[in-house]
Amino acid sequence: MDSSYTILILLIPIFTFFLLGFNFKRIKEPTSGIIGTALIGTTALISYFTAFQYFTGAMKGAIVDGVYQKVYTMNTVWIEFSDTLHIDMGILIDPITAMMLIVVPTISLMANMYSIGYMHGESGYTRFFAYLSLFTFSMLGLVLSTNIFMIYIFWEMVGVSSYLLIGYYYNKPSAVLAAKKAFIVTRFADFGFLMGILMLGYYGGSWDFKVLSDLGFIESLQQAYGAVFMGLSVITWALILIFMGGAGKSAMFPLHIWLPDAMEGPTPVSALIHAATMVVAGVFLVARLFGLFHFMDDGAALTVVAYVGALSTLFAAIIAFTQHDIKRVLAFSTMSQIGYMMLALGVSGYSGHDGLGFMASMFHLFTHAMFKALLFLGAGSIIHAVHSNYMQDMGGLRKYMPITHITFLIAALAISGVPPLAGFWSKDEILVAALHDNTLIFAVGYIVAGMTAFYMFRLYFRIFWWNEPNYKHTPHESTNTMTIPLIVLAVMTIVSGFIPFHNLVTADGAHIETHIDWATAGASVAVGLVGILIAMFMYKKENTISKRFRSGFGNFYEAAFAKFYIDELYMFVTKKIIFAKISAPSAWFDRNVVDASMNGVGNGTVWIAEKIKGLQSGKVQDYAMFFISGVVVIAMLFWFFI
């Protein structure tokens, strides 16, 4: 079967965007929500079909000798610079794309369906669904890109739709600020990304993923470029810059500051964009260029990835202990889990059992998308019921919201790594891979596994147990359109751990053998259970243990609560140093030298125009005089110069 139907995966969402975007005054609630959900549902079906065709080998060229290949279902040259360097537009399917074709439409469909009820009564209801379709289009374009420049284009479009959705409540100043912050921070990171792309194009000579993942090509690059700066080759520097872009989108330390603020957006947006799909774009990018990352300079760039991931995962987990806003706890949890995926990629080898880290990272990306979206949507359901983001206003909700309660518990158990839920399988593979490669990183991963269990159950017990506050309105379970996505995602959370990822998604496309390492698995489950038990002890009933702990840690608690003052550091650097020492003098120069000279030219022109107006006297005899003198002067000039 011809695979060009895959273009529909992009065409339907963008059509939805234009349909809803141009008619946002005419299409009313809830029609627009239903249209959006139905069309994204169609996209999801086509995507599943594509992934199915690919993994079963029914797609032409998908499997050669038992190894998954990169398939271009269509590709046209858009802008050509040279024979090898050109920007193409096309559709690439390979194992990680096929996997993302399941993740993105599923979560998007759930978020769309959930929003039908959640956004009820908001002004700009249709606008919201239009933006959601725009985001879905951009994200799918990103994962289907055939070359790194095309990824960059969709990467920016994803950023724009994220900006629009965070700032959805545009009459709320904090939302506008958060949208701006997210956009500026990620744009700053994308500056590195673009430089990396250009360096890769200039020195590497190609942007095409088939070429860039070809081992022979990578070998030739390795031969061609020696160390130029700090012992690394120019290609490795390009990769580090590209990773900077990925770190910005994926909220890796120190570019993570936008993610907590982005929680100002509506909760389905947080679930879709800031938990499951957009924020893993950085992981996807590293996975996409994994061959280069792994082989250039013996994986120097990959080591950077590993340590940034490890640092971020620990850092975010500590902050998550101290936050009161349930969405912010989830945001730091997201950052921590993405750090997990990054460190898994960082410790991975390329083929065979060494490639376990890559597979585990993708596996965790997949399972995390499911249970983290579930957690966010559950949080949205809770916020919808109690009209507050803060845990202080919650407690004892298990009686009022049974479905939310059970699904939230499933997700919390999954993220804590309790078998047989999805998180257990993927997290276990990551720890095995880390132990195999680097003991320090394994230690960080192991400690964070326990910390994750603790803060997630702190959240769980604090919301659903503890003591009931005095609710103004009795909380009640959400509507069906909101609970159905919760149930679907809960089912996915339970079953997705059993997907045979080692047969489907690997770095080199070949199968790898995996088996449960009982020692590691037992240890990680144990640390998770310890975390859960401590949380239960501290938060199941109202007590003062946590307060005493808080005062015990004193300054360290304060610092963690203030997110280790990273935001303040940025503010100091921008306001006190860049604005005061660089921007102000440049502004002076611009105003008094550049503008002044331009104004001078303008004023001079007007002045001349004023001075020569006498020439146009209105008398025909004068005109005749000028005419004849003109002829004479011109003729004489040429006589003179001939």
Q: How far is the CB of 617 from another protein (least distance, A)?
A: 8
Out of 531, 536, 605, 614, the residue judged to bind another protein by CB under 8 A: 605
- Nearer residue to another protein within complex by CB, 552 or 618: 618
Out of 81, 498, 589, 623, the residue judged to bind another protein by CB under 8 A: 623
Task: Tell me the site size for another protein, rule CB under 8 A.
Answer: 27
- Nearer residue to another protein within complex by CB, 519 or 637: 637
**Looking at 115-123, 329-337, 342-350, 622-630, which segment touches another protein (CB under 8 A)?**
622-630
Per CB under 8 A, 585 contacts another protein: no
- Nearer residue to another protein within complex by CB, 1 or 601: 601
Residues, the chain: 642
Per CB under 8 A, 600 contacts another protein: no
Exposed / middle / buried, residue 516 (Cβ in 10 Å: 0-12, 13-18, 19+): middle
Per CB under 8 A, 18 contacts another protein: no
Per CB under 8 A, 606 contacts another protein: yes
Per CB under 8 A, 1 contacts another protein: no
Distances (CA, A) of 590 to 597, 599, 605: 10, 12, 21
Q: How far is the CB of 603 from another protein (least distance, A)?
A: 12
Out of 500, 551, 613, 614, the residue judged to bind another protein by CB under 8 A: 613
Using only the alpha carbons of the chain, give its radius of gyration: 29
Per CB under 8 A, 594 contacts another protein: no
E strand or H helix that includes residue 90: strand 86-93
Q: How far is the CB of 609 from another protein (least distance, A)?
A: 4
Per CB under 8 A, 556 contacts another protein: no
**Looking at 68-76, 510-518, 587-595, 599-607, which segment touches another protein (CB under 8 A)?**
599-607
d(CA 146, CA 463): 45
Alpha helix (H) residue ranges in 119-233? 125-144, 148-166, 173-199, 209-212, 215-224
d(CA 133, CA 633): 71
Q: How far is the CB of 594 from another protein (least distance, A)?
A: 16
Q: How far is the CB of 616 from another protein (least distance, A)?
A: 6
Per CB under 8 A, 640 contacts another protein: no
Residue 92 in contact with residue 72, Cβ under 8 Å?
yes
**Looking at 177-185, 238-246, 517-525, 603-611, which segment touches another protein (CB under 8 A)?**
603-611
Q: How far is the CB of 606 from another protein (least distance, A)?
A: 6
Residue 253 in contact with residue 311, Cβ under 8 Å?
yes
Out of 298, 568, 590, 622, the residue judged to bind another protein by CB under 8 A: 622
Per CB under 8 A, 631 contacts another protein: yes
Full DSSP string of 481-550: HHHHHHHHHHHHHHHGGGS-HHHH--SSSS-------HHHHHHHHHHHHHHHHHHHHHHSS--SHHHHHH
**Looking at 36-44, 378-386, 561-569, 604-612, which segment touches another protein (CB under 8 A)?**
604-612
Out of 81, 498, 556, 626, the residue judged to bind another protein by CB under 8 A: 626
Q: Which residue has the tokens 């942007």?
A: 207
d(CA 427, CA 337): 10
Per CB under 8 A, 630 contacts another protein: yes
Residue 266 preceded by cis peptide, ω within 30: no
- Nearer residue to another protein within complex by CB, 220 or 605: 605
Q: How far is the CB of 619 from another protein (least distance, A)?
A: 9
E strand or H helix that includes residue 46: helix 31-56
d(CA 187, CA 190): 5
Distances (CA, A) of 162 to 182, 259, 274, 485, 547: 8, 11, 9, 22, 37
Chain residues binding another protein by CB under 8 A are 602, 605-606, 608-610, 612-613, 615-616, 618, 620, 622-624, 626-631, 634-635, 638-639, 641-642
